[in-house]
Structure 1
Amino acid sequence: MTAITTQGIVAIVPAAGVGSRMKANKPKQYLMIGQKTVLEHTVDKLLAHQQISQVVVAITEGDPYFPELSIAAHPQVVRVSGGKERADSVLSALRYVAEQKLSKWVMVHDAARPCLRASDLDTLIEVASVHPVGGILATPVRDTMKRANGNHDIDHTVERSDLWHALTPQMFKAEQLVETLSKALAAGAIITDEASALEWAGFQPALVQGAADNIKITQPEDLALAEFYLQRNIG
């Protein structure tokens, strides 16, 4: 596996979202899977990797849940203030990393993806660290894709051979990502993930195939599926 630096990689976890589609009484990152919250599972997976030196979690100001978690007192976990949108939270964490000169490399991972495999982290680091831009975990689209019209009727079938589902983590050089993301947001660009900011600037990050069980908890039924995957404990 490629060595990064003695500093290691800093993982950023934007966790300021409310998760309204879950229809729960608290944000989805604080829902329980077994004895731990979704966020604790996610952060623990990152901390378990030998090349990740620190995890920076972006949390909403006044969040009453995070201080109660075990990870809140972990020496390798830092809390920063999150923003209104995901990109704002990521930028807040990136600025902290830059100010503290924590690492040359960062990876951003969704708070609601607790089923990340260590082997996928290994592969992402190996590929992204030698790529000119960096890379993201992704999975090829398997199903037939349909483009809808305004009435939710099928307009046409989309060729799927070169389509991928973007996952996280997404790994880039910290300096390049903070500069590019800042410029993209200032220009009013629509940024849905970190790779889209790099794409906006004309860069082409690598697609690194990861496991399809690296799901993002979005709907209520996803919680049970994530629990099933975690119980299998696949690395």
Structure 2
Amino acid sequence: MQPKQYQPLAGKPMVLHTLAAFDSVARLHTRLLVVAPGDDTLGVPPAGVTVQACGGASRAHSVFNGLDALRRMGADPLDWVLVHDAARCLLTPDQVNALMDACWEDPVGGLLALPLPDTLKSSADGRVAATVDRSDKWLAQTPQMFRLGALHSAMALYLDRDFAGVTDESSAMEMAGHHPLLVRGSAQNFKVTYPEDFSLAEAVIRSRT
């Protein structure tokens, strides 16, 4: 079974749709794709994409190793870095630019997110325990944009705990005492997770072309 990011969507691997969203964002200096050691499934990467086979046992490990790779490539601690999930293949260049515009002068950085649209329930023993106030709840998306040095330092605090509690880059920054900016994203920027998500993502891609 192929990893999810290589499953075909509209005639090409999902990850290529994801990378294409960053292709026309002129302000990006480097595009780095982190893959598992020994993973050569993609073959020759798209022009302008550097592949590093430094993926780890979890998303957080892979991100941390990718940050280390950027540092080895000469990136400065004050450089902005955008971390994105390959499974969010419907991201658009406009969304990337909106995040960059919002965060560029921010002291912390931020992430794309959506206000929670649905009624939220807590549960106990398979039954509703309570209805939770959703007025201040957001669904986190990616990209998430932070200074390289600050994000690396925040994640390094949890390296010896296998990044317990670090569910995304924002959570690492939050646990380090920062308050990332929430930048409104799009409902179409969903993470392809379940089998039915593939057909929905393909339908969106085909509608755009």
The TM-score normalised by the length of structure 1 is 0.83
Displacement of 1:82 in angstroms is 0.2
1:110-149 paired onto structure 2 within 5 Å: 110-149=85-124
Query: In 1, Cα distance between the equivalents of 2:51 and 2:41?
Result: 15
Q: Deviations over 1:165-202 (max 9, x none)?
A: 00000000001111111112335531100000000111
Q: Deviations over 1:7-62 (max 9, x none)?
A: xxxxxxxxxxxxxxxxxx21110100122100111011112211122221111112
Contact 1:58/1:79 (<8 A) preserved? yes
Contact 1:185/1:191 (<8 A) preserved? no
Query: In 2, Cα distance between the equivalents of 1:208 and 1:134?
Result: 10
Query: In 2, Cα distance between the equivalents of 1:181 and 1:55?
Result: 21
* Aligned equivalent of 1:168: 142
Contact 2:144/2:169 (<8 A) preserved? yes
Q: 2:29 aligns with which of 32, 46, 53?
A: 53
Work out the percentage of aligned pairs sharing the same amino acid.
36
Displacement of 1:233 in angstroms is 2.3
Greater mean alpha carbon deviation, residues 215-224 or residues 44-53: 44-53
Change (3 A) 1:73 1:162: closer
Does residue 92 (structure 1) correspond to residue 65 (structure 2)? The answer is: yes
- In structure 1, the residue corresponding to 2:29 is in which secondary structure? strand
* Aligned equivalent of 1:44: 20
The TM-score normalised by the length of structure 2 is 0.93
Displacement of 1:228 in angstroms is 1.5
Displacement of 1:133 in angstroms is 0.5
Displacement of 1:64 in angstroms is 4.2
- In structure 2, the residue corresponding to 1:43 is in which secondary structure? helix
For these two proteins, the number of residue pairs brought into alignment is 206
1:53-72 paired onto structure 2 within 5 Å: 53-67=29-43, 70=44, 72=45
Does residue 193 (structure 1) correspond to residue 141 (structure 2)? The answer is: no
Query: In 1, Cα distance between the equivalents of 2:47 and 2:193?
Result: 27
Displacement of 1:226 in angstroms is 0.8
Displacement of 1:124 in angstroms is 0.4
Q: 1:33 aligns with which of 9, 26, 30?
A: 9
- In structure 1, the residue corresponding to 2:158 is in which secondary structure? helix
* Aligned equivalent of 2:130: 156
Contact 2:116/2:134 (<8 A) preserved? yes
